[in-house]
């Protein structure tokens, strides 16, 4: 499930991990369920993706976004160098609101990154 307005909702999440995605193959190797979601969404066997890639009008980033939105047990924030989400994360790091375990400002220009996190459960004491 995709996360929006992260700077306003960041305290609702825990167990942060940043996934550095080199290419589409690395994306699909990240978790088997992504292949299943791809096949359901795009109505084609995953093994045919390379040969039939031109049939899919979406960019790789748009495909990743669509597929991750179907994952219900995790929350995701997708970002690339200097996009809106990245700039938001940089600001949170600079203000020392969040610590991502890496310098979020020093990411690679040719990669897609996904912040993977869990939504905190409400505790009643």
pTM of the shown model: 0.88
* Contact (CB, 8 A) for 78 and 61: yes
Domain ranges of the chain: 6-119
Q: Hunting for tokens 């004491």 — which residue is that?
A: 125
Dihedral sign from CA coordinates of 86, 87, 89, 90: positive
* Contact (CB, 8 A) for 44 and 53: no
Residue-level pLDDT, tens digit, the chain, 125 residues: 898 789 899 999 999 999 999 999 999 999 999 999 999 999 999 999 999 999 999 999 999 999 999 998 999 999 999 999 999 999 999 999 988 888 999 999 999 999 999 999 865 55
């Amino acid at each position: 499930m995709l996360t929006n307005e992260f700077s306003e909702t960041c305290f609702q999440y825990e167990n942060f991990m940043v996934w550095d995605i080199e290419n589409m193959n690395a994306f699909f190797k990240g978790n088997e369920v992504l292949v299943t979601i791809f096949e359901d969404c795009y109505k084609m066997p995953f093994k045919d993706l390379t040969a039939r890639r031109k049939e899919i009008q979406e960019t790789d980033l748009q495909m990743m976004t669509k597929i991750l939105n179907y994952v219900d047990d995790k929350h995701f924030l997708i970002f690339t160098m200097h996009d809106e989400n990245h700039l938001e994360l940089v600001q949170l790091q600079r203000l020392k609101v969040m610590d991502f375990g890496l310098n979020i400002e020093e990411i690679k220009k040719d990669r897609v990154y996904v912040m993977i996190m869990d939504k905190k459960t409400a505790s009643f004491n």
